[in-house]
């Protein structure tokens, strides 16, 4: 992804350095093969797709920690830890990706909905953070809090994505951000509020099924963003979308349960099957409209 030297967003709140953490191997950038905007993503029926990881309120990307992110202290109290060059690069990268989402969704909202898009704030943190939705730790993974309209990201997650899951590359990292912004788009559309109303009175399996629809829609919106960003900025390198699909292929409810040696229990899924996740990203990429991402069927 061509991001260096490009405009960054002012909607960044950098809290990194407030909570000391061990530093990873650095912000990785990778290459691969990119299907151009004229080419559709085709998913082989005989081979299962996979799932992307992120959530509305902090779910771990490790199977042993697949639950709502809680605990974790606030960011302050530990003094300031100097940011490495890798940290600075990761922050600038996140800022550029966020700026691209702002332009893409501003245009899509105007064209499709005839209304203004109000962008979120992206909070960068280290180790633990406080949000209006409660506390979370880095183990909870990136998350979006509708109560304060902010997305939260520990940029060390980019390293974990590559180191622990084999999903490296800058566009895999961009996919992380785009998915969380996708939850903000859902919030702007009123989807998250409606989903919460639907969950009221449901048992756990029913509420999880609703959450799956929320996650699939965010995956689809990430696909819309990827396609429209390429059309608007011509910023994707060869292999970028493959990096995103590879990231999506590495993490999923079924995959994580299986790799943890646990029985696969669909009633506990909160993200959808691997095949569903990849399919919905492809739908967003191929159709490139908000309307294509209605996982709730109206």
| Segment 245-255, tens digit of pLDDT | 777 777 777 87
Convert 155-187 to b/e letters by CB count within 10 Å (16 or more is b). bbbbbbbbeebebbbbbbbbbbbbbbbbbbbbb
pLDDT in tens, 97-129: 999 999 999 999 999 999 999 999 999 999 899
Portion of the chain with pLDDT greater than 70, in percent: 79
Higher-scoring residue by pLDDT: 74, 218 = 218
The model carries a pTM of 0.81
Q: Are 1 and 195 in contact (CB under 8 A)?
A: no
Q: What is the mean pLDDT of residues 80-106?
A: 92
Q: Please, which residues have CB within 8 angstroms of residue 43's CB and are 6 or more apart in sequence?
A: 49, 275, 278, 279, 282
Between helices 204-233 and 240-250, what is the axis angle to 10°? 170
Tokens of 57: 């309120």
Query: In this model, does residue 229 exceed pLDDT 90?
Result: yes
pLDDT in tens, 263-288: 989 898 888 888 888 889 989 999 99
pLDDT band at 57 (very low <50, low <70, confident <90, very high): very low
Structure confidence at residue 79 (pLDDT):
53
Query: In this model, does residue 182 exceed pLDDT 80?
Result: yes
Structure confidence at residue 36 (pLDDT):
34
Q: Write down the mean pLDDT value for the chain.
A: 80
Q: Name which of 121, 141, 119, 118 is nearest 132 in CA terms.
A: 121
Query: In this model, does residue 258 exceed pLDDT 60?
Result: yes
Structure confidence at residue 291 (pLDDT):
96
Rounded CA gap, 114 and 108, in Å?
9
Query: In this model, does residue 175 exceed pLDDT 70?
Result: yes
Portion of the chain with pLDDT greater than 90, in percent: 48
Rounded CA gap, 187 and 132, in Å?
15
Q: Name which of 136, 174, 7, 148 is nearest 60 in CA terms.
A: 136
Q: What is the mean pLDDT of residues 75-82?
A: 55
Structure confidence at residue 24 (pLDDT):
41
Query: In this model, does residue 192 exceed pLDDT 90?
Result: yes
Rounded CA gap, 296 and 213, in Å?
6
pLDDT in tens, 34-55: 223 344 655 543 332 222 333 4
């Amino acid at each position: 992804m061509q991001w260096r030297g490009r405009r960054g967003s002012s909607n960044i709140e950098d809290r990194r350095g407030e909570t000391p953490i061990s530093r990873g191997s650095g912000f990785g950038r990778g290459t691969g093969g990119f299907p151009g905007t004229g080419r559709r993503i085709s998913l082989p029926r005989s081979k299962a797709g996979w799932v992307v990881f992120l959530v509305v309120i902090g779910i771990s990307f490790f199977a042993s920690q697949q639950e709502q992110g809680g605990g974790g202290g606030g960011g302050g109290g530990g003094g300031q830890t100097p940011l490495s060059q890798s940290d600075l690069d990761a922050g600038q990268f996140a800022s550029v990706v966020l700026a691209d989402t702002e332009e893409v969704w501003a245009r899509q909202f105007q064209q499709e909905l005839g209304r203004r898009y109000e962008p979120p704030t992206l909070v960068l943190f280290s180790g633990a953070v406080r949000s209006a939705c409660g506390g979370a730790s880095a183990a909870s993974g990136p998350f979006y809090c509708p109560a304060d309209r902010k997305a939260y990201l520990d940029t060390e997650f980019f390293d974990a994505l590559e180191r622990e899951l084999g999903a490296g590359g800058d566009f895999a990292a961009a996919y992380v951000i785009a998915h969380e912004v996708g939850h903000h788009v859902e919030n702007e559309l009123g989807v998250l509020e409606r989903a919460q109303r639907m969950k009221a009175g449901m048992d756990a399996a029913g509420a999880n099924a609703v959450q799956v629809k929320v996650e699939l829609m965010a995956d689809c919106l990430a696909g819309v963003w990827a396609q429209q960003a390429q059309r608007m900025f011509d910023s994707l390198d060869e292999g970028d979308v493959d990096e995103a699909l590879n990231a999506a292929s590495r993490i999923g409810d079924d995959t994580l349960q299986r790799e943890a040696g646990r029985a696969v229990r669909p009633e506990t899924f909160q993200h959808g099957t691997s095949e569903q996740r990849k399919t919905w990203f492809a739908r967003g990429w191929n159709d490139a409209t908000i309307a294509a991402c209605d996982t709730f069927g109206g």
